Amino acid sequence: LFVDQPLGPDATILLDGPAAHYLTGVMRLKPGAPVKLFDDVSGEWLAEVRDVAKRSVTLGISAHLRPREAVPDLWLLAAPIKKGRIDWVAEKSCELGVARLMPVLTQRTIVDRLNLERLRAHMIEAAEQCGRTALPELHEPIKLDAALRDWPAGRALIFADENGGAPFIEAVKPGPAAILIGPEGGFTAEERAAIRALPQAVGVSLGPRILRADTAMAAAVSLWMAAAGD
Ligand code: SAM
């Protein structure tokens, strides 16, 4: 279970809201029951239920189980797409091990408001479900031109281009990287030119078929993880 507070030896944790409801209402845990907790900083801890109240539960830490896992240095820059599909992308980014999810606003982005809290909740649920001890960092939405302007010198920008490029696997090099996926309507000619002008950018193909943006994200991240992730 993810807790948004620092964990450490001998810490006492007071949970309320959905987390308390999950432990006592859904799991029906009683005092003495063991619970695994992680805080996205110090790793995973074993805790024990100390006290159950109507709307809260108190836990005491008993042991450190494992440190926060190492996360492959891959960012995913994705243009927001409609609700259910971007939720899915948040969930899969976490499952597949992305270090940072960065929503990028492009000229053809049609979704202009993103509920970051909801996306984070999907990531947390995914991390809990697959036993992770780290969450992807969820970046504030950023305009594509601003992202390109401040692009870090040492990070490759793998631009998924449905108009063709190097086969994905051949374009992956060791080292920090980011994958850029366009919105449902794709990038404009002007945006494509700006992306390709960046020295760190490499245009890649995911095959001859045009994939939906969410499919392209999952395919590209999976391929990168297979080739370079650890
Ligand atoms: N511009 C296209 C159109 O409207 O016909 C479609 C864009 S596609 C639905 C959304 C994004 O997925 C693209 O901007 C690209 O980043 C990625 N994508 C889809 N198919 C791809 C492929 N075969 N190779 C590389 N990237 C792809």
- DSSP string across 49-80: EEEE-SSEEEEEEEEEEEPPPP--SEEEEE--
**Of all residues in the chain, what percent carry a pLDDT higher than 70?**
100
Burial of 48 (0-12, 13-18, 19+ CB in 10 A): middle
Mean pLDDT check: name the lowest of 10-19, 133-142, 178-187, 203-212: 10-19
Residues 206 and 133 in one domain: yes
The pTM assigned to this predicted structure is 0.92
Burial of 95 (0-12, 13-18, 19+ CB in 10 A): middle
Report yes or no on 82 lying in a domain: yes
Residues 29 and 48 in one domain: yes
Mean pLDDT check: name the lowest of 65-74, 109-118, 124-133, 204-213: 109-118
Residues 150 and 182 in one domain: yes
> How far separated are the first and last CA of the chain, in Å rounded?
24
Buried b (16+ CB within 10 A) or exposed e, 129-163: eeebbbbbebbebeebeebbeeeeeeebbbbbbbe
Report yes or no on 49 lying in a domain: yes
Residues 29 and 112 in one domain: no
Question: Which residue type, as a one-letter code, is found at position 135?
Answer: L
- Mean confidence (pLDDT) of the chain: 94
Query: From the CB of 89, is ligand 1 less than 6 Å away?
Result: no
Q: What is the pLDDT of residue 224?
A: 96
The pLDDT tens digits of the residues spanning 149-170 come to: 999 999 999 999 999 899 998 9
Report the domain count for the chain: 2
Mean pLDDT check: name the lowest of 2-11, 58-67, 108-117: 108-117
Predicted confidence band at 109 (pLDDT cuts at 50, 70, 90)?
Answer: confident
Residues 109 and 89 in one domain: yes
Give the single-character DSSP code of 26. I
Cβ neighbors of 205 (< 8 A, separation 6 or more) are: 160, 161, 162, 164, 165, 166, 167, 168
Q: Is 96 helix (H, G, I), strand (E, B) or coil?
A: helix
Atom of ligand 1 nearest to the CA of 159: 16
Residues 20 and 88 in one domain: no
Q: Token pair of 87, please?
A: 């939720």
Query: From the CB of 166, is ligand 1 less than 6 Å away?
Result: no
Mutational test site, ligand 1, from 180, 184, 211, max ligand atoms within 8 Å of CB: 211
User: How far away, in angstroms, is 177 Cα from ligand 1 center?
Assistant: 19
The CA distance from 177 to 223, in Å, is 13
pLDDT of residue 52 exceeding 80? yes
Containing structural domain, residue 29: 12-66
Residues 88 and 201 in one domain: yes
Rg (CA), the chain: 20
Looking at residue 51, which CATH number applies to its domain?
A: 2.40.240.20
Report yes or no on 4 lying in a domain: no
Mean predicted confidence (pLDDT) in 103-122? 90
Q: What is the pLDDT of residue 84?
A: 84
Mean predicted confidence (pLDDT) in 21-43? 93
**Residue identifier of the C-alpha nearest atom 13 of ligand 1:** 182
User: How far away, in angstroms, is 181 Cα from ligand 1 center?
Assistant: 7
Q: Is 131 helix (H, G, I), strand (E, B) or coil?
A: coil
Residues 49 and 111 in one domain: no
Residues 204 and 156 in one domain: yes
Report yes or no on 36 lying in a domain: yes
Residues 123 and 185 in one domain: yes
Predicted confidence band at 81 (pLDDT cuts at 50, 70, 90)?
Answer: confident
pLDDT of residue 70 exceeding 80? yes
